[in-house]
Amino acid sequence: MLTPTPLMRLVSGFWSFKTFAAAVELDLFTKLAGGKSITVGKAAADLGLAERPADLLFAACASLGLLERDGDGYRNSALAEEFLVAGKPYYFGGQVRYCDRRTYLAWHRVGDALRTDRPLTWDPDTQESMFETEDPQLLALFWEAMYSTSIFTARALGEAYDFGAHARLLDVGGGSGAYPIELCRRFPSLRATVFDLPHVAPIAAEKAEAAGLSDRIDTVAGNFLHDEALPSGYDVMLFSMILHDWDEPTNRDLLAKSYAALPSGGAVVVSELLLNADRTGPASAALMGMNMLVETVGGRNYSETEYIDWLTDAGFVDAHVVLFDAPGANGVVVARKP
């Protein structure tokens, strides 16, 4: 029998996120790191909560697969232990904190974005881009969020595509360097460069040094939108979660710059949450497209077919899709310069 139960799940979706975000804000999962078990009463005292809200929070987190019962107490689930303990390699808390702080309230006005076709998290009349902010704490949260989403996505990409076939990688708009760090860890002969804005490149350099990879990862400062050409001397170029920020003409121009900078036989790799050909899903890609409405002037999520067409029009050959499962992308479109 058809019921409105699926609609109620949609209505109450924000309950799950805000419960999750509150637990991350309290550092709950970090406090339970290493298999530690805690009762509700002890947790209430440790977290500065009354018993009732602590009990409700723990039950809710268990229902979401973030905690497990352990006798009279609770402990981290395997998911929480792997990705929600601060300091672990694939810590995902940065993404949770950023969305809670920056995008959640903006999404309350998504109807305004639909009616005006303008972003809600920044003002294009007074700011050059969504990445410009006078709040250093918010900027730090943004880069932490991008890193925490990208580092595991890069791991999945490295399992799906053989970067060992290449010598030098240019990560266009590479931000804090998560993709080069993870890929250079996996492919010992690979060297990489992060190409990003002058105020971003030092962040990537710091991350590469902390990872012990500063001898293989460097940075080049520039602006891929305004510079006439992309840096040359690389046999593979990566656009990781970049093209969804921009409109079609901008993306076509970026791919043309990539084609011009690559040598014969060089490859371009576009890593994104790809829509299917008829633009009916998957939900992760389609809803990220809605987030682009909230956060960008012309961005949207594109289908694998669109990327293949643009790459072919730019002169690339052998364009094909490699699918995988990760938080920041569900696949890549790869093509080669003849």
Buried b vs exposed e over 250-260: b needs ≥16 C-beta within 10 Å? Answer: bbbebbebbbe
Is the torsion defined by CA of 332, 289, 136, 89 positive or negative? negative
Report, as residue numbers or ranges, the catalytic residues.
244
In the three-class reduction of DSSP (H, G, I as helix; E, B as strand; rest coil), residue 275 is classed as strand
Q: How far apart are CA 318 and CA 200, in angstroms?
A: 33
Cα separation of 271 and 153, whole Å?
9
Report the distance separating Cα 73 and Cα 120, nearest Å. 42
Helices first, then strands: H and E counts in the chain: 15, 9
Task: Give dist(CA 20, CA 96) in Å, integer.
Answer: 8
CA atoms within 13 A of residue 130's CA, in its CB half-sphere: 20
Cα(216)–Cα(208) distance, integer angstroms:
9
Say if strands 317-323 and 267-272 run parallel, antiparallel, or are unpaired: unpaired
Residue partners of 4: CB distance under 8 A and separation at least 6: none
Is the Cβ–Cβ distance between 148 and 86 less than 8 Å?
no
Separation in Å, CA 193 to CA 143, 226, 232, 238: 18, 19, 11, 10
- Cβ atoms within 10 Å of 2's Cβ, excluding its own: 5
User: 278 phi and psi, to 5 degrees?
Assistant: -95, 10
